[in-house]
Amino acid sequence: MDRLIQTFAYGLGVGFSSGWWRSQHNRHHAMPQRLHHDVDLNTLPLIAFNVAVTKGGQHKPNFFLRHQAKLLS
């Protein structure tokens, strides 16, 4: 019954898959704050929660990354 309610609530209310949310939420709680495992850390190119996510050359330092300490304080 819980999954049925969740399916309707997420599908109609939020507009995305409840199955996707469950799998990502479970991954988040299985390995919190670990790079490449916690999907909540995939916030680039807007915000970097850890300097290690910017080491890899995939993301160029944009305005938000360079000034996030000032913007978020």
Note the pLDDT of residue 58. Answer: 64
Note the pLDDT of residue 7. Answer: 86
Which pair of tokens denotes residue 62?
A: 């944009």
Note the pLDDT of residue 45. Answer: 66
Note the pLDDT of residue 66. Answer: 76
Note the pLDDT of residue 53. Answer: 66
Note the pLDDT of residue 44. Answer: 67
Residue 44: other Cβ atoms inside 10 A = 16
CA pseudo-torsion sign 59, 62, 66, 69: negative
According to DSSP H, which parts of the chain are helical?
2-8, 18-30, 63-71
What pTM value is reported for the model? 0.45
pLDDT per 10-residue tile (average), the chain, 73 residues? 86 83 82 75 69 66 76 73
Q: How far apart are CA 53 and CA 65, in angstroms?
A: 11
